[in-house]
Structures are given as C-alpha cells and as structure tokens.
Amino acid sequence: MTQKINVNQLQDISLFTGLPAQMLEQLIPHCQLKQYATEAVLFFEGDDLPACLHVLMSGRLHITKIAPSGKETILRILPAGEIFAASALFGDGKAPATATAIEPATVLTLKRQALLAGFSQTPELALHLLGVFNQRLQQLHNRMHGLVSERAIVRLINYLEYMVSNIGCAPVTGGEQIKSQLTYYQIARSIGITYEECVRLFKQLRPVVTYRRGGIITIADCQQLRALKEMY
C-alpha cells in the first residue's frame, strides 16, 4: 500500500532536519511512502532498483546475502531512520542484497532527480548524505575486519552492544531486555558462526546475558558485558 508524505514527516528524517519547509514542499511530489507486512520482501539480491533514495521510516529490515555455497548471511538488521539501497542512487542500480521486513515497515522513496535538484539548492544536503554513506562504509569495514580477526564470543558481544545502542532496551526484572526478539539463527547468520556455536556462546555469557525461547534477550549489566569482552 502506498501513501503520500507531509513536511513534518520529512523533517523527522535526520537527512532533512533543519531544511526550509519551502524546499521540502518541492520534494513532496517526488516522494512516496509504501507499507510492507511482516516477511514481505522489498527486493531480492540482483533486482533492478528504481533510481530513488530509500529511507526506512518505521519497522525493521533484514539485509541478507546468499554466498555461492548457498549459505545465507544476515548483513544487517536495519532499524527505523536508516538510509539503505545506496546503489539505487550512486551505483549500478542493482540490489546488492535482499531486504525483508521482519515486522510491519514503512519505506520512503524519493526520486533521484528531485534529490539532485535539492543538492544544487542546498549543497550541505549533499555533504550530509555523503557523510551518511561514509559512516556506512566504515561500519562495513569494521564488520568485515571483526569477522576475520575477532573471536566469535567477542563478535557476539559486539553484536549485542550494537543492538542495545540501535534498538534499545526496556527495564525488566533482572536487567534490561532488548526491544526486539533476536533468535539464535538470526544472530548466528549475522556474526558468521553456526547455530550450535551461538547456543554455546550464550551459555558462556550467563548470568550477565540470558536468552529465553523466541529470542528474548536480557542483559543484567551492560558494563559487566563490556568487561567480559575485555577478558577475551
């Protein structure tokens, strides 16, 4: 289902925060909001992408890639507010990975030509967007470095810390519960280990981290979790 966007919604996107309402009004005819149900595939790896900026307005996405061996790797769990599918703007227009909604999601698309026109009026917008993509490249570089150089348990702790930072926690008895269910399978595919090893590593993190059926994860103390990482 598609719908229109308004100025207030555009101003809520960090990329456009602070821009004049008059300029945002000019972008609105070139924007579109589309809603996706849980497990809906936005695009598959290799699909042709429309020449648009893509922003996840609400919900979460799995970004996954299939290796030549057939193994699926979860590259990222994308939270709301993130820009994605950069190749639709500056690359070859091919989806480098598959994007799947893991909960109801709303995606904003803005046509490239309208965005380029915005750059000519507000060069700061172009610099900000380049900064966003540079940060994304740095994150990917750090992730790849970690996959080949860090021990699996350190990668797991880094992953949990990332989720705490990006998804958040809710106070519960015994600590803080991550505000999203993260299954062993999802985590294993995200940090490059087997399902069985993921189960074993979570046992090593007790009682600082507890895992309950369905992917409910509680962290007793984030500082203790960080201290565990230093031990390895």
Angle at 80 between CA 74 and CA 83, to 5 degrees: 75
pTM across the whole model: 0.68
Cα distance between residue 107 and residue 50, in whole Å: 13
Cα distance between residue 28 and residue 69, in whole Å: 43
Walk along the chain (232 residues) and give the pLDDT tens digit of each residue. 557 788 888 888 877 777 778 878 888 888 999 999 999 999 999 999 999 989 999 998 989 888 777 777 777 888 888 888 888 887 788 998 999 999 999 999 989 888 888 777 777 777 777 777 777 667 665 655 555 568 899 989 988 988 888 778 899 998 999 988 889 988 998 888 899 999 999 999 999 999 999 899 999 998 899 888 888 7
Domains of the chain and any CATH numbers: 2-147 (2.60.120.10), 151-231 (1.10.10.10)
Q: Of 124, 122, 218, nearest to 169 (Cα)?
A: 218
Q: Of 111, 126, 119, 121, nearest to 55 (Cα)?
A: 111
Q: What is the DSSP string of 198-218?
A: HHHHHHHTTTTEEEETTTEEE
Cα distance between residue 78 and residue 232, in whole Å: 28
Give the count of alpha carbons within 13 A of 134, CB side only.
6
Alpha-helical runs (H) found in 33-122: 87-90, 112-121
Looking at residue 147, its pLDDT comes to 52
Using only the alpha carbons of the chain, give its radius of gyration: 19
Q: Which two tokens stand for residue 48?
A: 């042709």
CA distances from 182 to 10, 62, 84, 163 (A): 30, 12, 21, 9
Q: How many CB atoms are located within 10 Å of the residue 118 CB?
A: 22
